[in-house]
Amino acid sequence: MKPGVLVVGELPAWDLEALTERFDVHLYYAAEDKDGMVARNRETIRAIATKGEVGASAALMDALPKLEIIGCYGVGYDLIDVPAAKARGIRVTNTPDVLTEEVADMAMGLLLAAARRIPAGDAWVRDGSWKSKGSMPLQTRVWGKRIGIVGLGRIGAAIARRAEAFRMPIAYSARQKKDVAYDWYATPAAMAPHVDILMVSAAGGAATKGLVDKAAIDALRPGAIFCNVSRGTVVDEAALLAALREKRIAAAGLDVFLNEPDIDPEFLTFDHVVLQPHAASATVETRKDMGRLMRENLEAQMDGRPLLTPVA
């Protein structure tokens, strides 16, 4: 009999099809009676497939006594109760590396879109303003500006490589100094006064909650540009909203928020902010790579082989 996998976060059809070759697949996210599904299959479900924005709770783990592994479709696993999994001997994996370059592309895309108001320019052409009003107001450049990256992990380093191509002086904040030729600051607040652009790419989770705090946001230079491709929890959202409302931040590109997808409606009122639906890794190619890596981790556990990308 195939081992059972509880699919907690919705996955593309190609991933579900591939999972059925090895697992008895239970679509938790689509079930009307979720508790009933779990109860009926509690003795055969050995794996959970989830997503970073969905996670897996200790209560769900307790309901599955045969559970061996939780595979996260994404690099961020902050909503998986990792201490609870560890206490129960349940392995946790994620999908790093395969989405690094994709997220870095989106980070630079958001930066350009926000600074040059690319969505507004598109609307300017479509609604006839170009013909009736003439040229759009002038915007600000990106190349050559000083960028500060919060979190110089895989994704932060990939953003930095792109920033080098834009001839941008680079600074970063991290708990420890790294062996790179960029200026280091211990905290975002210490870095903020020295940069024109603040790019947030730190990992989510309890350790980084509120890392970009009010002090950091208030310390930004007037006219700064702010981008976040990390997690909404990393930023003090109330402070960010205040800075946007008061135009202390000149432009922003945001892929992540608190309470997704039910985000604070005030974000929708700002014409100097470019919004995205937490889609930095959302390409067909990368999502297929993420699904493959998650599946290979689950299969390795079933086969007794070493996991490819275990969470520390």
Which are the catalytic amino acids?
231, 260, 278
Q: Residue 7, class by beta-carbon neighbours within 10 Å (0-12 exposed, 13-18 middle, 19+ buried)?
A: buried
Beta strands in the chain (DSSP E): 4-7, 24-27, 45-51, 69-73, 91-93, 147-150, 170-173, 183-185, 197-200, 224-228, 249-254, 273-275
Rounded to whole angstroms, how far apart are CA atoms 113 and 266? 20
Does an H or E element contain 19, and which?
helix 13-20
Does an H or E element contain 216, and which?
helix 214-218
Taking the CA atoms of 58, 312, 260 and 279 in sequence, report the sign of the dihedral they define: negative
Nearest to 257 by CA among 245, 274, 272, 282: 274
